[in-house]
Amino acid sequence: MSKQFFGTDGVRGTVGSGPMTADFAMRLASAAAQVLVPAGGSVVIGKDTRLSGYMFESALEAGFVAAGADVLLIGPLPTPGIARLTQEFDADLGVVISASHNPYYDNGIKFFDRSGSKLTDEIERKIEGFLENPAITLESGSLGKAKRIDTARIRYQDFCAASFPDGMDLAGIKIVFDGANGAGYKVGPRTLGNLGADVIPIGCSPNGKNINDGCGSTEPDLLQLTVPALNADVGVALDGDGDRVVMADENGKLIDGDQLLFILASARNRKGDLKGPVVGTVMSNLGLENALKAENIEFKRAKVGDRYVLKELKESGGIIGGETSGHMIVLDKATTGDGLICALQVLAIMKETGKKLSELAAGMSKYPQTMVNVRTKTRLDPDSSSAIQAAVAAAEDELAETGRVVLRASGTEPVIRVMVEGENHDQVVSIADRLATVVAESAA
């Protein structure tokens, strides 16, 4: 049975439109409580810096408390921080109010189970089954309570710092940190500063509407300009909820998730503590696969979405995986994708080796790759269109063994993502444009 509300990363949409309304949030909390929170159980709720976070926090609190759950209100904190605190407080459920890298006028709600892992499709379907009913309200003596946790940020900072090697610090390293005006705007600079780095913060002045606006991992231009302008050693950019990271080397060149994955995996491999295969996605650059193969590192591809990367890691016994976008998972350091912890692991490699980030990334050559997002009026399955499939087959014949074509529907919006990569940049762009035209015509 397909899901109506849950996408690849929780429930997401434009605030004020279904499903992102206060009424829906309260019913969602009630449904989740009935599936996952036993009588007398507890729920951790965190959020990013969007203006609508206040509204959804109150609605979720009401739904959970009415269903008999105690609520621990964390306030703004990166998504992986909520996963960690769900474990630390022995809560039954963790809830994050965030639309990740989307603009401020969108928002979303995603869940972690008591182990700090994202919910399975089966559990999400069970929750949706309860959404057909009104939110429940227990009798007064069975209602839950709510309180704010003032130590949350310090607890998460300490957890991130503990992922850094014992006896090592960041003294002598100048870091430009871009918090995307989001959930990591405090914990990022403070964690790096506490480890001894000279930190220059940008994108760390949220006002409720400027999250991901001209800053962060999805718009890193300012980071790339600032690093060389201030003679910094490296730049770090999170997205709005802090589960993605991209970096900039000393020259301002962007280092994306594929390159970070190569840096982490190759360093672990040389030290002899890399376990299992490295896991990317169908969108991971072919250059990553080839670079890992050259170092005798097994590579596997999962569906797009960090939940699927995590699933493949667990099934194959791997510990390092991620996406081109910067969703990075280091399983022996955290239970879910964590941008700050990933950045700390890369910074530790720089410190251990004495190499610049540009030198660490030089071992991987990226194939030219282009992505075209085709917006459709309604959701479209590209596999259901004979015209699209014929165009894809022709493109694959043209590329032969030197490239790849991937078409996939976005899990959060009515968009078909057309990705083409190969050895020749002009050929890649031409094929992607032709395919995008066919997709647009098929969706008309």
Q: For residues 198 and 176, what is the distance between their CA atoms, to the nearest angstrom?
A: 8
Q: For residues 31 and 63, what is the distance between their CA atoms, to the nearest angstrom?
A: 9
Beta bridge partner(s), residue 375: 415
Q: Is 437 exposed, middle or buried (0-12, 13-18, 19+ CB in 10 A)?
A: middle
- Catalytic residue numbers read 100
Q: For residues 110 and 96, what is the distance between their CA atoms, to the nearest angstrom?
A: 5
Q: For residues 173 and 349, what is the distance between their CA atoms, to the nearest angstrom?
A: 13
Q: For residues 64 and 32, what is the distance between their CA atoms, to the nearest angstrom?
A: 8
CB neighbour list of residue 384: distance below 8 Å, 6 or more residues apart:
none
Length of the chain: 444
- Helix-strand-coil percent breakdown of the chain, rounded to 5? 40, 20, 40
8 A C-beta contact, residue 244 and residue 274: no
Question: Which residue, among 339, 300, 347, has the nearest Cα to 319 in the 3D structure?
Answer: 300
Q: For residues 62 and 146, what is the distance between their CA atoms, to the nearest angstrom?
A: 9
8 A C-beta contact, residue 25 and residue 63: yes
Q: For residues 284 and 233, what is the distance between their CA atoms, to the nearest angstrom?
A: 27
